[in-house]
Amino acid sequence: MSDLFSKFDPIIELRSELLESGVTDPFNLVMEKVESPTVAICNGRRTILLGTYNYMGMTFDPDVIAAGKKALDEFGSGTTGSRVLNGTYVGHRAVEQALKDFYAMDHAMVFSTGYQANLGVISTIAGKDDYIVLDIDSHASIYDGCALGNAQIVPFRHNDIEALEKRLKRIPEGAGKLVVLEGVYSMLGDIAPLKEMVAVSKANGAMVLVDEAHSMGFIGEHGRGVAEAQGIIDDVDFIIGTFSKSVGTVGGFCVSNHPKFEILRLVCRPYVFTASLPPSVVATAATSIRKLMDSADKRAHLWENSKRLHAGLRQLGFTLGTDEPQSAIIAVIMPDLETGAAMWEALLDEGLYVNLARPPATPAGMTLLRCSLCALHSEEQVGEILGMFAAAGRATGCID
């Protein structure tokens, strides 16, 4: 019998080598207690959270928690069914209405995760004989959506407007075309030139889908994302998002003004053939989304945090993913996996949690320490974080 697991041998070996060096497993951290959106107890120690995507700090919002508890009491712990059978409760409709109001769009469809939203929408609207033109650094859920639908995949160089145009012009006349972009790219924290890219896509007859997972709630006047900030949200055909970041719970969605959008509820397999989100989850999401509509002060504070951390890390001598802060993600580039893991552990020992990211998730084979800021990090905490980076950086030889 051939062992189907033998294909994983290279990664098993890499992992063993890393752990044999004595470093704590960076992909297996347990949070023993979570005290707030910015502090948890890890290894018995108070730890500042800087790697959670909890951008707007909604996870402990008292209104959000109360809504979840009420729904749990009134509707039970789960729906035990698909949206098209017994899985649509008033709460699902309410969260879809909250999304329509948040984005000022005609249609909203909620999925069980953001991963499934990309999987479902992309694979359903772009099938065999259609073309999907996508940024090469797209999230795994976008690639998996492309693969599931069997469309022709045409990747282009990250954020390169000319490359996108060239690829579009090479597609046979009359073929269905979908351009897939992200507002914020989560590895380096850089944003896309959506204005130019959407214009080029439209000029070449393509529909456009933008994944705003890392910008919802924070970027744009109303927190609708990079498409809003760049003034072209009305030209985007589909926006994909998630409840697992700024919204502070779990779930995914697509919003659109396409007149035929609702048919997706019958033809989109990752929507039809899976159980719907529990009532408590959709109640927390709806409450959170409505509160995010009115969060300009928090958005402003998050920008302050992002600018302060970016400037401070640069001053300490770290190499960062972007020259200027473009989002709430700040990536610190590490020379290699060993140094990255050592620095990750040194930060944890200092009392700071960040994400260690490595290929295939990262572009160009990079090892990154990814920091994601929260609107509830205080100025004092950002100061503490910089102090911890200075100490860990010197201890590991990353900075002088």
Residues that bind ligand PLP (CB under 6 A): 113-115, 118, 139, 141, 182, 186, 211, 213-214, 242, 244, 252
Q: How far is the CB of 181 from ligand PLP (least distance, A)?
A: 10
DSSP designation for 232:
-
Residue identified by tokens 């959000």 is: 64
Q: Which residue from 261, 208, 230 is spatially nearest to 99, judged by alpha carbons?
A: 261
For ligand PLP, which is the closer residue by CB, 53 or 318?
Answer: 53
Complex with ligand PLP: residue 58 or 390, whichever CB lies closer: 58
Q: State which residue has the least CB distance to ligand PLP.
A: 114
Q: Which H or E run contains 185?
A: strand 184-185
Our CB check for ligand PLP shows the closer of 139 and 177 to be: 139
Give least dist CB 322 to ligand PLP, A.
16
Minimum distance from CB of 232 to ligand PLP (Å)? 19
- From the CB of 111, what's the least distance to ligand PLP, in Å? 8
Output the smallest distance, CB 345 to ligand PLP, in A: 23
CB of residue 334 vs ligand PLP: minimum separation in angstroms?
20
Say if CB 374 and CB 359 are below 8 A apart.
Answer: no
Cα Rg, the chain, nearest whole Å? 21
Rounded distance between C-alpha atoms, residue 310 and residue 326, angstroms: 10
* CB closer to ligand PLP out of 115 and 131: 115
| Smallest separation, CB 115 to ligand PLP (Å) | 4
Pick the closest to residue 178 from 187, 167, 192, 162 (CA basis): 167
How does DSSP classify residue 357? E
| Residue number, 242 or 287, with CB nearest to ligand PLP | 242
Half-sphere exposure of residue 101, counting CA atoms within 13 Å on the CB side? Answer: 15
Of the pair 299, 370, the CB lying nearest ligand PLP is at 370
| Closest CB 187 distance from ligand PLP, rounded Å | 9
135-158 CB burial, b ≥16 within 10 A, e <16: bebbbebbbbbbebbebbbbbbeb
Enumerate the β-bridge partners of residue 330.
371
Pick 134 or 171: Cβ nearer ligand PLP? 134
Please report the DSSP string for 65-128 in residue order: HHHHHHHHHHH-S---SBTTTT---HHHHHHHHHHHHHHT-SEEEEESSHHHHHHHHHHHHS-T
Nearer to ligand PLP, 182 or 228 (CB): 182
Between CA 193 and CA 205 the distance in angstroms is 19
3-state secondary structure (DSSP) of residue 132: strand
Q: Which is nearer to ligand PLP, 242 or 326 (CB)?
A: 242
Report the alpha-carbon distance of residue 103 to residue 233 in Å, rounded. Answer: 9
Q: What is the DSSP letter of 260?
A: T
Residue 114 CB, nearest approach to ligand PLP (Å): 3
The number of residues in the chain equals 400
